[in-house]
């Protein structure tokens, strides 16, 4: 894209200018995705919680479904007075929300939404996203420490212990798809799962299926969602690390939380559920996904991006479902779940996948490759190869027949006819 802008504006000396424009456009698009996603997820969470608790949720602002309720709340937050406690460290108190949001936002730089639709393609995108999302805890720690409140400090220390602990099993779970695909590039991992849903890694073997649920548990804990929201814990810590915050800075923490939820759900969609590849490869069968025509190829990518967003939203909805269904755990129960359950299960699943690959056991992908993919994706190639072999066999048979006829005085013999027939038979096969 940077070269595109340089060519349009005729920039030859300062080539960095085109790349800067391209980077700003990408950042603006990603920023709007995070902001608009937070607006939608706040509304969705109210509706999901209302459904689970036999309530209606927002029904007045913006129609019967309350579409504008989140925007009304945002205007209210903007109008609120921005207060700083007298005992707080003013600089760190003000900076902490922006650090959390920046960490959540930076993860989207390496998160692909479709084939080639990524702001910054990295060969180590998997661990880049995990590392950057984990930096959100620094904003929480600074918020708790700088607030000058013991409740905020307790919540921040809980978050620090929780996130650092759950990064270990989370990393083990992510290693499994990397092991199966042999790469850390998210675009390559997603493209290797193209085809029917049987080609998704979650269905590769029983160990990978179990690893996904361990990943989901650890990802829920890493983004501070119930039943692992000990950093907030309204029942015993008032509101946890953000007790002293109000107005716009308070909203930045929740934008960071919902942004991280979408990021880890999108990562799960790529690693386990085929990314932007749908359960039925319609655009691959039509030939649009790899078409040389720009419009057809980008149309396939557009539908792939919508498919990816749908999968990520399903993951976020599942987190909301867990929040409003399960009770909050105690801090000792949270740590026990990590050290005594998630870490051993992730390690056992990792070893199980290694053994499965080493023994070369059956997987659902074998059905797709042998019985489904070939008739649809390779039928044109098979047809052309059959025709070429048949024509070659006919030419060989005709030349052999002519040579034998010439050597026998112009009278064909049975051996010549048989050789030609065998050649045609080989071509048909």
Is the peptide bond preceding residue 227 cis, with omega within 30 degrees of 0? yes
Q: 38-52, 318-332, 365-379: which has the minimum mean pLDDT?
A: 365-379
In this predicted structure, the answer to whether residue 131 has a pLDDT above a threshold of 70 is: yes
Higher-pLDDT residue of 421 and 8 is 8
- Residues 370 and 368: their CA atoms lie apart, in Å, by 6
In this predicted structure, the answer to whether residue 130 has a pLDDT above a threshold of 80 is: yes
Residues contacting residue 377 through CB under 8 Å, at least 6 positions apart = 195, 281, 284, 285
Q: Decide: helix, strand or coil at residue 99.
A: helix
**pLDDT tens digits, one per residue of 305-315:** 999 999 999 99
Q: What's the pLDDT at 264? A: 94
Q: What's the pLDDT at 186? A: 94
Q: What is the mean pLDDT of the chain?
A: 82
**pLDDT tens digits, one per residue of 59-103:** 888 888 898 988 898 888 888 888 888 888 888 888 889 988 899
Q: What is the DSSP code (8-state) at residue 202?
A: G
Say if CB 52 and CB 325 are below 8 A apart: yes
Higher-pLDDT residue of 353 and 385 is 353
What percentage of the chain carries pLDDT values higher than 90? 33
Query: What is the domain partition of the chain in residue ranges?
Result: 1-79, 80-376, 384-428
In this predicted structure, the answer to whether residue 401 has a pLDDT above a threshold of 70 is: no
Q: What's the pLDDT at 419? A: 39
- Give the residue-averaged pLDDT of 21-49: 89
**pLDDT tens digits, one per residue of 180-234:** 998 999 999 999 998 889 889 999 999 999 999 999 999 999 888 878 888 777 7
């Amino acid at each position: 894209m940077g070269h595109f802008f340089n060519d349009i504006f005729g920039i030859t000396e300062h080539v960095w200018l085109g790349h800067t424009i391209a980077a700003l456009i990408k950042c603006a698009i990603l920023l709007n995705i995070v902001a608009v996603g937070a607006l939608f997820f706040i509304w969705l969470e109210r509706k999901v919680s209302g459904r689970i608790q036999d309530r209606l949720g927002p029904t007045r602002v913006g129609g019967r479904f309350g579409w504008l309720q989140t925007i009304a709340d945002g205007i209210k937050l903007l109008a609120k007075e921005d207060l700083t406690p007298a005992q707080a460290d003013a600089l760190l108190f003000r900076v902490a929300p922006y650090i959390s949001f920046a960490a959540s936002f930076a993860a989207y730089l390496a998160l692909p939404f479709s084939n080639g639709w990524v702001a910054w393609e990295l060969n180590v995108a998997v661990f880049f996203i995990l590392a950057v999302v984990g930096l959100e805890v620094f904003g929480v720690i600074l918020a708790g420490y700088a607030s000058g409140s013991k409740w905020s400090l307790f919540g921040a220390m809980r978050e620090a212990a929780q996130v650092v602990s759950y990064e270990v099993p989370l990393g083990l779970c992510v290693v499994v798809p990397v092991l199966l695909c042999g790469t850390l590039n998210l675009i390559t991992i997603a493209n290797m799962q193209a085809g029917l849903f049987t080609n998704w890694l979650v269905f590769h073997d029983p160990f990978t299926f179990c690893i996904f649920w361990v990943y989901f548990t650890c990802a829920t804990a890493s983004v501070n969602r119930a039943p692992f929201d000990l950093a907030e814990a309204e029942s015993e810590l008032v509101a946890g690390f953000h007790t002293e915050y109000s107005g716009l800075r308070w909203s930045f923490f929740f934008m960071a939380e919902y942004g991280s939820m979408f990021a880890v759900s999108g990562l799960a969609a790529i690693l386990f559920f085929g990314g932007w590849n749908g359960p039925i490869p319609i655009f691959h069968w039509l030939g649009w996904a790899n078409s040389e025509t720009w419009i057809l190829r980008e149309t396939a990518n557009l539908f792939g991006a919508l498919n990816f967003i749908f999968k990520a939203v399903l993951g976020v909805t599942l987190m909301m479902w867990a929040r409003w269904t399960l009770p909050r755990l105690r801090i000792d129960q949270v740590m026990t779940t990590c050290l005594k359950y998630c870490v051993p299960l992730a390690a056992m699943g990792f070893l199980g996948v290694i053994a499965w690959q080493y023994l070369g056991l059956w997987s659902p992908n074998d059905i797709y490759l042998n019985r489904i993919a070939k008739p649809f994706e390779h039928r044109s190639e098979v047809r052309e190869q059959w025709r070429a072999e048949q024509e070659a066999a006919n030419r060989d048979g005709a030349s052999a027949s002519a040579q034998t006829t010439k050597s026998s005085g112009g009278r064909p013999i049975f051996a010549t006819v048989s050789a030609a027939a065998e050649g045609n038979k080989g071509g048909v096969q």
